[in-house]
Amino acid sequence: MTCPDCQAAATAAHHGFRASCSGCKARAFSRGPHFFEAKRAGKLNPVYLQQLERLGLTHDQVKAADADDFMRREVSR
């Protein structure tokens, strides 16, 4: 958790993001179709890797954001 929006998203449904926060970028990406497809397929495809590079994120950052995101835990139930 790197900002107030990340902290809020860890404990309740929260849709705020800060452009300057890498945690927010990772959380936003983890909610999108590229991460969903990589997670479903169990492998990282070239488009996914290009998007990570473009955003300056790592797969580990996105996985951690997914695990910490209250919204993702709610969807998984």
Report the pLDDT value the prediction gives residue 69, as an integer from 0 to 100: 86
Report the pLDDT value the prediction gives residue 68, as an integer from 0 to 100: 87
Taking only the tens of pLDDT, the chain with its 77 residues reads 579 998 999 888 888 999 999 999 999 999 999 999 999 999 999 999 999 999 999 999 999 999 888 876 655 54
- Alpha-helical (H) ranges within the chain are 4-11, 22-30, 33-41, 46-55, 59-68, 70-76
Residue 31 near residue 69 (C-beta atoms within 8 A): yes
Half-sphere exposure of 71 (CA within 13 A, CB side): 16
Structurally, the chain folds into a number of domains equal to 1
| pTM of the full structure | 0.83
**70 lies in which domain range?**
4-76
pLDDT digits over 3-22, tens only? 999 899 988 888 899 999 99
